[in-house]
A and B are shown apart, each in its own frame.
Chain A
Amino acid sequence: MSDRLPGFSTLAVHAGAQPDPTTGARATPIYQTTSFVFNDADHAASLFGLQAFGNIYTRIGNPTNAVLEERVAALEGGTAALAVASGHAAQVVVLQQLLQPGDEFIAARKLYGGSINQFTHAFKSFGWNVVWADPDDIASFERAVTPRTKAIFIESIANPAGSITDIEAISTVARKAGVPLIVDNTLASPYLIRPIDHGADIVVHSLTKFLGGHGNSLGGIIVDAGTFDWSTGGKYPMLSEPRPEYHGIRLQETFGNFAFAIACRVLGLRDLGPALSPFNAFMILTGIETLPLRMQKHCDNAKAVAEYLAGHPAVASVSYAGLPSDKYNQLARKYAPKGAGAVFTFSLKGGYDAGVSLVSKLQLFSHLANVGDTRSLVIHPASTTHSQLDDAAKIKSGAGPDVVRISVGIEDKEDLIADLEQALGA
């Protein structure tokens, strides 16, 4: 039995969690504490010097959060992970390890609107320069590579239209350029796509979405694939050079194939501070236990709703990679055979006004700015999540004025279709 590899659903329930050795508690305890006592002065010094594994302060690590980290690392096939306060925080922490002021990273143009804002504006003030490329045109990534390029960033299933990215093709570009490929796997979750199997070096998530799954807790996570060699050419000094913060430790030589996750923890989380509440970690862990069941239901419902919408006379077009006619259907069959996710867009023949009317008439779909909840959700990206983009950028990112985005929940699909029917028809 010991050499048998467990399946995904077994990992979703068990990875990282074991009965508490002192109390026997079977559910993961919520260690709602800021700090942890040391055994003695030498133990404290060993922990601060990264010489021992253990707990110091919840801004660096927490035993509840650690269970979440190990579980997501196992589900993604990574060597280690670091949980942080949000998906946005995960992106800041990752890029802080990779970029120095004046450096560049290449990002797919089709991204969550919040990421586009973060990359364009917030990161510019750090001197981290984003260079956009088109995920439908792999050569555009190759053309964007310069000597200052330090990473490539893509979404596996891209917001808002649910388009599928050719991860392997872009990982080939990254490998050739000698930079890590970062994949935001939020909309797929590892149940649908495991980017590390396709060449990703780092995976990030907003845990707030399908992993937590219940719309009750913010969180983010960084997974280290353990695949990238950080030692070459001094290109990644946070990992390869002696760190003055830790008396000259070189993280790569000390921590091997989980050095990136350690760098994120001891140089990123420790110093930038976006720690995840242990309570949120507990809520998200509970959600992950049912991820395989929920995700399949999300996908099955989404496909039924997309098929219904595609046949509706008021609907101009549906962008859902699970439909055989969709331009991303081939990629969906390759990367996400169990389902093409549950977030997609459609456009209405009645344009902007019809979109506003639909949103206001829906009774079961909640009008809000989130995705990946048990509940079905609807939003008009042009006026909300993507509102800070100019019109051309809105259209390029798939959020034109006539576009409505939905995140299909796990209700009965007949009820969701009936709700859309009354809202579209009246």
Chain B
Amino acid sequence: MKDHMNHDAYPDNYIRGILNSVKSIAMVGASPVNVRPSYFAFKYLMQRGYDMIPVNPGHVGKELLGKPFVASLSDIGRPVDMIDIFRNSSHIMPVVEEALTLDPLPKVIWMQLGARDDKAAAKAESVGIKVVMNRCPKIEYGRLSSEISWMGVNSRTLSAKRAPAPTQGMRLSLNRMSVGGGDTAASDRAAKNKSEQS
């Protein structure tokens, strides 16, 4: 086991390493409604080349952007690299417990922006699974590739290196080199206060 991950502040290289290495992502709680955040993230990650699997028992028999919904993780029937959980903090543990029964185990369990369950995280980490909590993979991909900077968002990265030329049309490369940039300490504090209150 590596050192304990600080789930309040992930190093950029930890997140970049995950997004660069996983190929298949099962999204638990994916919604077919095209204005829901999970739909946005699903579509974005699919456009970035990830093999996306929508998991939602309420929509079995339907498709999300051409991908058939499955009812549960165990119904996927093939190995998945990452589980992205679009559920509230109180619904995380059962999903993680189910993920721990998969063979082979997923490499990464990711809990969506606003979702955090430290006990579930510790359980997953104890068997070598990397965990990310309270982050959105779409936002992190956009931030680390600097694509999100087009929306005026503080990417919290700096770079004097020329990034690889864009491929796949609009895609900016995730393999850009960067160091830490401007912090957002006040927002991080506000989020922490909110999660501790709830």
Q: How large is the interface on B (under 10, 10 to 19, 20 to 34, 35 or more residues)?
A: 35 or more
Once bound together, how far apart are the Cα atoms of A142 and B35, in whole Å? 39
Once bound together, how far apart are the Cα atoms of A246 and B159, in whole Å? 34
Residue of A nearest to B146 (CB): A18
State whether the Cβ of B19 lies closer than 8 Å to any Cβ in chain A: no
State whether the Cβ of A306 lies closer than 8 Å to any Cβ in chain B: no
Q: Contact at A61–B151, with CB atoms within 8 Å? A: yes
* Chain B residues, Cβ within 8 Å of A1: 179-180
Q: Contact at A6–B180, with CB atoms within 8 Å? A: yes
Binds A, one of B88-96, B103-111, B160-168: B160-168
Once bound together, how far apart are the Cα atoms of A229 and B189, in whole Å? 12
A79, A197, A265 — most chain B CB neighbours (10 Å): A79
Q: Contact at A78–B166, with CB atoms within 8 Å? A: no
Q: Contact at B40–A74, with CB atoms within 8 Å? A: no
State whether the Cβ of A392 lies closer than 8 Å to any Cβ in chain B: no
Binds B, one of A80-88, A93-101, A293-301: A80-88
Binds B, one of A46-54, A107-115, A154-162, A324-332: A46-54
Q: Give the shortest distance, in Å, between A107 (CB) and chain B (any CB).
A: 22
**With A10-B158, A15-B181, A21-B172 known to touch, is A63 a contact of B186 (CB < 8 Å)?**
no
Q: Contact at B169–A39, with CB atoms within 8 Å? A: yes
Q: Contact at B184–A2, with CB atoms within 8 Å? A: no
Interface residues of A in 36-68 (CB under 8 A from B): 39, 43, 46, 49-55, 61, 63, 65-67
Q: Contact at B186–A227, with CB atoms within 8 Å? A: yes
Q: Contact at A53–B148, with CB atoms within 8 Å? A: yes
Once bound together, how far apart are the Cα atoms of A18 and B166, in whole Å? 14
Q: Looking at the complex, which one of B35, B152, B158 makes contact with A14 (CB distance below 8 Å)?
A: B158
Q: Give the shortest distance, in Å, between B172 (CB) and chain A (any CB).
A: 7
Q: Looking at the complex, which one of B150, B154, B179, B185 makes contact with A73 (CB distance below 8 Å)?
A: B154
* Chain A residues, Cβ within 8 Å of B59: none
State whether the Cβ of B149 lies closer than 8 Å to any Cβ in chain A: yes
* Chain A residues, Cβ within 8 Å of B136: 256
* Chain B residues, Cβ within 8 Å of A18: 146, 158-163, 176, 178
Q: Contact at A82–B152, with CB atoms within 8 Å? A: yes
* Chain A residues, Cβ within 8 Å of B159: 14, 18-19
* Chain B residues, Cβ within 8 Å of A5: 180, 183
* Chain A residues, Cβ within 8 Å of B57: none
Binds B, one of A247-255, A283-291, A374-382: A247-255
* Chain B residues, Cβ within 8 Å of A80: 151-154
Q: Contact at A21–B162, with CB atoms within 8 Å? A: yes
Q: Bits for B1-43, please: 1 = Cβ < 8 Å to A, else 0.
A: 0000000000111000000000000000000001101011001
Once bound together, how far apart are the Cα atoms of A196 and B183, in whole Å? 12
Once bound together, how far apart are the Cα atoms of A77 and B189, in whole Å? 12
State whether the Cβ of B84 lies closer than 8 Å to any Cβ in chain A: no
**With A19-B160, A39-B169, A226-B190 known to touch, is A66 a contact of B149 (CB < 8 Å)?**
yes
B152, B165, B170, B182 — most chain A CB neighbours (10 Å): B152
State whether the Cβ of A257 lies closer than 8 Å to any Cβ in chain B: yes
Q: Looking at the complex, which one of B142, B170, B179, B187 makes contact with A225 (CB distance below 8 Å)?
A: B187
Residue of B nearest to A199 (CB): B186
Once bound together, how far apart are the Cα atoms of A19 and B183, in whole Å? 21
State whether the Cβ of A346 lies closer than 8 Å to any Cβ in chain B: no
Once bound together, how far apart are the Cα atoms of A145 and B191, in whole Å? 26
Q: Contact at A24–B162, with CB atoms within 8 Å? A: yes
Q: Looking at the complex, which one of B142, B165, B191 makes contact with A21 (CB distance below 8 Å)?
A: B165
State whether the Cβ of B101 lies closer than 8 Å to any Cβ in chain A: no
State whether the Cβ of B74 lies closer than 8 Å to any Cβ in chain A: no
Residue of B nearest to A21 (CB): B163
Once bound together, how far apart are the Cα atoms of A21 and B173, in whole Å? 9
Once bound together, how far apart are the Cα atoms of A254 and B37, in whole Å? 5
Q: Bits for A13-35, please: 1 = Cβ < 8 Å to B, else 0.
A: 01110111110100000000000
Q: Bits for B100-140, please: 1 = Cβ < 8 Å to A, else 0.
A: 00000000000001100000000000000000000010010
A18, A19, A55 — most chain B CB neighbours (10 Å): A18
Q: Contact at B183–A77, with CB atoms within 8 Å? A: yes
* Chain A residues, Cβ within 8 Å of B165: 21-22
Q: Looking at the complex, which one of A54, A196, A227, A256 makes contact with B150 (CB distance below 8 Å)?
A: A54
**With A229-B194, A256-B114, A265-B152 known to touch, is A77 a contact of B181 (CB < 8 Å)?**
no
Residue of B nearest to A8 (CB): B182
Q: Contact at A226–B184, with CB atoms within 8 Å? A: yes
Residue of A nearest to B147 (CB): A53
State whether the Cβ of A242 lies closer than 8 Å to any Cβ in chain B: yes
State whether the Cβ of A75 lies closer than 8 Å to any Cβ in chain B: yes
Once bound together, how far apart are the Cα atoms of A14 and B181, in whole Å? 9
Q: Contact at B150–A63, with CB atoms within 8 Å? A: yes
* Chain B residues, Cβ within 8 Å of A197: 185-186
State whether the Cβ of A184 lies closer than 8 Å to any Cβ in chain B: no
**With A6-B158, A21-B165, A79-B154 known to touch, is A49 a contact of B34 (CB < 8 Å)?**
yes
**Residues in B lying within 8 Å of A, measured CB to CB:** 11-13, 34-35, 37, 39-40, 43-44, 47, 113-114, 136, 139, 142, 146-156, 158-166, 169-170, 172-173, 176, 178-187, 189-191, 194
Given contacts A24-B162, A81-B152, A265-B152, list 12 more A-B pairs with CB under 8 A.
A6-B158, A15-B181, A15-B182, A19-B161, A74-B182, A77-B182, A78-B186, A80-B153, A197-B186, A226-B186, A229-B190, A256-B114
